[in-house]
Amino acid sequence: MTGLNRELADFLRRARDHVDPSRAGLPSDGRVRRVKGLRREEVALLAGVSTDYYARLEQGRRINPSPAVVEAIGRALELDEAGRTHLRDLIGLPSSPTKSRSVQRVRPGLYQLIDALDGEPALVLGRRTDVLAANRMAKALFADFDKIPPKERNYARWIFLNEDARSLFAD
* In 18-119, alpha helices (H): 40-47, 51-58, 67-76, 81-91, 108-116
User: What is d(CA 42, CA 53) in angstroms, rounded to the nearest whole number?
Assistant: 13
Element (H, E) at 159: helix 155-161
Element (H, E) at 6: helix 3-17
User: What is d(CA 76, CA 71) in angstroms, rounded to the nearest whole number?
Assistant: 9
User: What is d(CA 21, CA 47) in angstroms, rounded to the nearest whole number?
Assistant: 14
Which domain does 115 fall in, by range?
Answer: 108-168
The single-letter code of the amino acid at 114 is I
Model-level pTM? 0.52
- Biggest CA–CA distance in the chain, Å, is 62
Name the nearest CA neighbour of 15 among 68, 82, 107: 82
Q: Say yes or no: 41 and 120 in one domain.
A: no
Helix, strand, or coil (residue 139) = helix
Domain-embedded: residue 135 = yes
Domains identified in the chain, total number:
2
Q: What pLDDT, in 10s, does the model give residues 94-119?
A: 765 544 456 788 888 999 999 999 89
Domain-embedded: residue 59 = yes
pLDDT tens track of the chain, all 171 residues?
A: 445 578 888 999 999 988 888 777 776 767 777 778 888 998 999 999 999 999 999 888 888 888 999 999 999 999 999 999 999 988 888 765 544 456 788 888 999 999 999 899 999 998 889 999 999 999 999 999 989 888 888 999 998 888 888 888 876
Domain-embedded: residue 69 = yes
Q: Say yes or no: 20 and 58 in one domain.
A: yes
Name the nearest CA neighbour of 133 among 111, 102, 109: 111
